Structure 1
Amino acid sequence: MFNLFKKLLIFIFCINCLILPLLSKEIVKVGITSLPTSRGNPFKTTTGLPSLYTHAAMFEGLTRVSQKAMPIPLLAESWEYENELSWLFSLRKNVTFSNGEPFNSDSVVFSFNLLQSDEGRSWNVTAELEGISSIEAIDTHTVRIKTSTPDILLPHKIASLKIVPPHYWKEVGEEGFAESPIGTGPYMVSSWGVSRVMLKRFEEAWRESNVENIELVTAPDAVSRIQGFLSGRFHIAVQLGPDEVYMIEDSGHVVSRGFDPSMQVLAFITEKESPLKDIRVRRALNYAINREVIVSKLLSNKVQMATQTSPSFAFGWDPTITVWPYDIDKAKELLAAAGYADGFSFTAEILLSAASYSSQVYQQVASDLSRIGVNLSITRIPASQYARGVYQGKWKGEAIGIDYGVNPTLDSLTPLVRHSCFWSKPWFCEPSVIPLIEKAQSAFNLEERKKLTQAVMKYQLELAPAILLYETSRFDAVNKDLLGYYIEVGHIDYDKLYFRK
């Protein structure tokens, strides 16, 4: 069946090569899964999907984090700590926003203070910056950042704060800014529609870009993205499945593989009454999953099996933790001990626009669970409904197809802000892990911080907050004539894109 589908898509590709005009080299067209529900407000969304493909072109933070878990200068040129609770950041000079406003210390202070307002405290990025107590201007291009507790990874954490122009924000307000966002990045918005965003080059950007325009077009399902790519409508098609890599490469194009800083899981909602509140049940479901089959058969051995709630290249990942063993007998034993010898039923909600192979993975999970008498129903929901679940707690099921993302800090503790009692609308809340997280976060020595973080990883695993699945990778199709495309820890250097001459 797959081979037939593959041949059909390649046939469509070949036919369209004959009838469609060549893609313009003045514009890069990208087929993406969805646009951020918060549109152009960089504070009301997280730093992962879907804002990754949009906000990276127009917004910048003081730093970003490399694949080696090291902070890299962006709008800040350098930094140093004064003491365990105070840091100085020296800002890049001669930088302007795309509306002409100067970037300086006041814009950094303003951006942070927005999150301290009554409205700003409810925005999602605020939680990612928990522990930063204040930012003050020392001079026009130096800021002092104070923390409530020691944080040796502050240069990683501050990457979540995108900087906006104060005067423009005050003039148009939050809603106006979301409609027509302004940043210091290499591109600026020329139009933002329901399913399409057009970006144009910001000529005065400090990071000079090569391509005149970028067009981001939503294509929620993978088939439409692949067809759009093979037919010549897109230069880039994002979030392909591992089994689709060969199809793209056979057509003469390139697949860009990015190591996505996250672990894919089926997270349990324990804040509502269900058998999943019982830790024995949660552990039983993990024993019932044959992860080796999922990775080898469904994911073509192009990803790693999850061992903990953090990817293997994140700070604090524990190499001594092994894959949760596949043990049907142990699973049945634990279910019986919890009073569910005959099994039970529950529903999981997964994102409609998720990677094409996600449905197959979750169906395999359901198949594995059926062997111990547990019936898992899977419901696919649109991004808007999914966002209501994440940010408002409006889940209809008892589990979620979600990731433990370490964007943008590459700190293994980062996803525990969302997947714990720290979150404003938590789905999993176990108070006993909170002191361990806080102790690790406050260690002001890198080795001690790593050791304590690894202890959290072990403890978190014992709680079985989710069915651990696999370490995610990102597979994006890229036209053979487009060069410079790469994703590193949730960051895309759009300014480095250029066409082959």
Structure 2
Amino acid sequence: MTNIACVFIVLAVMSCGLAPASAENLRIAVSTPALAKGHPFDPYAGGSIVSALYDGLTQISLNGEVTPALALSWSTNSNTEWVFKLRPGVVFHNGKSVSAKSVVDILNFVASPDARRFWVAQQLSTIKSARVIDASTLSITTHQPDPLLPRRMSIVRIADLDEWNRAGEAAYKEAPVGSGPYRVVSWGPNATDIRLAAFKQSWRKHKDITSIEMRVIPDGARRVQSLLSGEVDLSVNLDPDSIMDIEGAGLQVVTTPNPIVISIALRTIDAKDSPLVDAMVRRALNHAIDKNVIANQILQDLMQVASQGATPGAVGYDPEIAPYTYDPDKARKMLAEAGYPNGFDMTIGVWAGQVPGDTLIFQQVAQDLSRVGVRVKLRVLPFPDFSRRLQAGDWQGIDAFSLNWSSRIMNDAQPALESFSCHSVWTPFFCDAEVAQAIDSARYDMDPTARTQKLQRAMRLAVASAPSIFLINYADIVAMRRDINGYEVRSDGILFEKMSVGQSLDRRQ
């Protein structure tokens, strides 16, 4: 059978095997471009791309453990001083050695006024200074005790700061210099056709994959089709309703829990006349949503109903917290007691396409709320507008908006709790003084057990205060050819270097 005939049969009946993937080149379909390209300090640089280009001092495994990366070990000299010992023999893509000075230069830059506009600097605001002890050892001093520091070190991308200073920010992100297992070859127009090549001197040794092509295909159905036709070898961010077709074609589907809780944020700041200012109203909205319909029908049992703003495995997750029950009668009664027997009008701003199936989720939320008298208008916000509003706190005309609780980067509940509190790194949209005080009590506690208990208490208070409608614990859905092995993810992306290509035992002929 010819290859062309095989492609047509795959698309028509989805039953034909695909030719083996190249042992050298991995082709991936992704949903969004890397807006900041190879920028080491910008959160809108591509996640899996940046994790392939750079190393942090530490890394967070999918089960939430802090593990060595550039740093082999770390310890405390006091509550405000940490000492990190580096891995020997690591080099940047340009051949320069990665030394304690390389790391200290980055940390002191991030702590400087010049870097305050960067997201990474906001996350590392606890750092006062860093200094070199010897060629492979450095010390980090914090303003206050910071039990999160080893986790924070997973988001510091150790770039060649000399090259950053020489090239300038704009040119550097086009040709970034890190120490990761891959380096940039080209970005393509608007970062929509990204090509990476293996960096053979990386300490993270790769197996088979020596080059990677990332093709940006925003449409989910088109990403599936590109996989079925053999145009790509792996496709990410897939809708649950595509799984049957993919598995029917003899391809493998991997669902990986992601430390993200899909939610609708409820705005109370600069909204004194809004019904949402009343905690009883916010709790009523949580009781109004049938989350089991979302989890079981829309998401086809691939994701779980959320009980709180953290997922199992995250530090601070409390297994004793139960999800809000679906009880529309109770919701209507609570709304009446709060003074809204006839409901009210509410505009929800949504950034559609953030996660698979979210458009259907938002429609289900609006439908369920209408059943208890809350008349919802869904307003789609393009990402640039959404991002601007979030940063500036400009929610004029919008009562609530889609916003996820995310423990993805550090697998710790503190940043997520802060985002939905008076302590948000963005302009706060919600503030409960008791929750903020509980977060503060955990913030500087260096005892892991005591800190976890304090975070759990803060989470219980947050759930009772209901700064959001808690919906679903998210999971990543990825599909690939059956002859691809070793697929593994961690908090910041896919570990391409661990993937290999080999004959699958159950490949269809």
TM-score norm. by structure 2 comes to 0.90
Residue pair 2:21, 2:483 contacting (<8 A) in 1 also: no
CA distance in 1, matches of 2:400, 2:9: 37
Query: Which residue does the alignment assign to 1:497?
Result: 499
Query: Which residue does the alignment assign to 1:118?
Result: 113
Instruction: Tell me, yes or no, if structure 1 residue 37 matches structure 2 residue 38.
Output: no
Q: CA deviation at 1:413?
A: 1.0
Query: Which residue does the alignment assign to 2:214?
Result: 216
CA distance in 2, matches of 1:306, 1:72: 27
Distance 1:203 1:153, change over 3 A: same
CA distance in 1, matches of 2:115, 2:444: 25
Distance 1:10 1:468, change over 3 A: farther
Query: Which residue does the alignment assign to 1:488?
Result: 490
Distance 1:339 1:451, change over 3 A: same
Instruction: Tell me, yes or no, if structure 1 residue 447 matches structure 2 residue 452.
Output: no
CA distance in 2, matches of 1:230, 1:272: 50
CA distance in 2, matches of 1:394, 1:10: 51
Distance 1:380 1:25, change over 3 A: farther
Residue pair 1:259, 1:488 contacting (<8 A) in 2 also: no
Distance 1:266 1:300, change over 3 A: same
Query: Which residue does the alignment assign to 1:473?
Result: 475
Query: Which residue does the alignment assign to 1:4?
Result: none
Letter in 2 for 1:408: I
Letter in 2 for 1:185: G
Q: Deviations over 1:160-194 (max 9, x none)?
A: 11111021011011222222222111111111231
Letter in 1 for 2:386: Y
- Greater mean alpha carbon deviation, residues 401-410 or residues 327-336: 327-336
Q: CA deviation at 1:323?
A: 0.9
CA distance in 1, matches of 2:492, 2:215: 19
Letter in 2 for 1:108: V
Query: Which residue does the alignment assign to 2:377?
Result: 377
Residue pair 1:258, 1:486 contacting (<8 A) in 2 also: no
CA distance in 1, matches of 2:170, 2:450: 43
Q: Deviations over 1:332-385 (max 9, x none)?
A: 233223333222222323333323311111111111100011122223344333
TM-score norm. by structure 1 comes to 0.91
Distance 1:226 1:350, change over 3 A: farther
Instruction: Tell me, yes or no, if structure 1 residue 51 matches structure 2 residue 46.
Output: yes
Instruction: Tell me, yes or no, if structure 1 residue 425 matches structure 2 residue 427.
Output: yes
The alignment partner of 1:259 has SS state of strand
Q: Deviations over 1:135-171 (max 9, x none)?
A: 2211111111222222334212221111110210110
Query: Which residue does the alignment assign to 1:269?
Result: 267
CA distance in 1, matches of 2:149, 2:170: 30
What does residue range 183-194 of structure 1 map to in structure 2 within 5 Å?
Answer: 183-193=178-188, 194=190
Letter in 1 for 2:331: A
Q: CA deviation at 1:53?
A: 2.5
Query: Which residue does the alignment assign to 2:152?
Result: 157
4+ residue runs of structure 1 moved beyond 6 angstroms?
15-18
Instruction: Tell me, yes or no, if structure 1 residue 347 matches structure 2 residue 344.
Output: no
CA distance in 1, matches of 2:350, 2:220: 15
Residue pair 1:258, 1:488 contacting (<8 A) in 2 also: no
Distance 1:181 1:227, change over 3 A: same
Instruction: Tell me, yes or no, if structure 1 residue 321 matches structure 2 residue 321.
Output: yes
Q: CA deviation at 1:441?
A: 1.8
CA distance in 2, matches of 1:199, 1:377: 43
The alignment partner of 1:152 has SS state of coil
Query: Which residue does the alignment assign to 1:141?
Result: 136
Q: CA deviation at 1:23?
A: 5.3
Q: CA deviation at 1:492?
A: 2.0
Instruction: Tell me, yes or no, if structure 1 residue 402 matches structure 2 residue 403.
Output: yes
Residue pair 1:33, 1:354 contacting (<8 A) in 2 also: no
Distance 1:124 1:58, change over 3 A: same
- Identical-pair percentage: 32
Gaps of 5+ in 2: 1-7, 504-509
- Greater mean alpha carbon deviation, residues 302-311 or residues 64-73: 64-73
Distance 1:136 1:238, change over 3 A: same
Query: Which residue does the alignment assign to 1:12?
Result: 11
Residue pair 2:36, 2:46 contacting (<8 A) in 1 also: no
CA distance in 2, matches of 1:204, 1:461: 48
CA distance in 1, matches of 2:390, 2:97: 35
Q: Deviations over 1:212-240 (max 9, x none)?
A: 21111111221121111112122111112
Residue pair 2:239, 2:357 contacting (<8 A) in 1 also: yes
Query: Which residue does the alignment assign to 1:233?
Result: 231
Instruction: Tell me, yes or no, if structure 1 residue 205 matches structure 2 residue 206.
Output: no
- Greater mean alpha carbon deviation, residues 374-383 or residues 387-396: 387-396
Q: CA deviation at 1:98?
A: 0.8
Gaps of 5+ in 1: 1-8
The alignment partner of 2:195 has SS state of strand
The alignment partner of 2:133 has SS state of strand
| Residue 457 (structure 1) aligned to one of 437, 456, 459 | 459
Residue pair 1:95, 1:184 contacting (<8 A) in 2 also: yes
Query: Which residue does the alignment assign to 1:5?
Result: none
The number of residue pairs the alignment matches comes to: 490
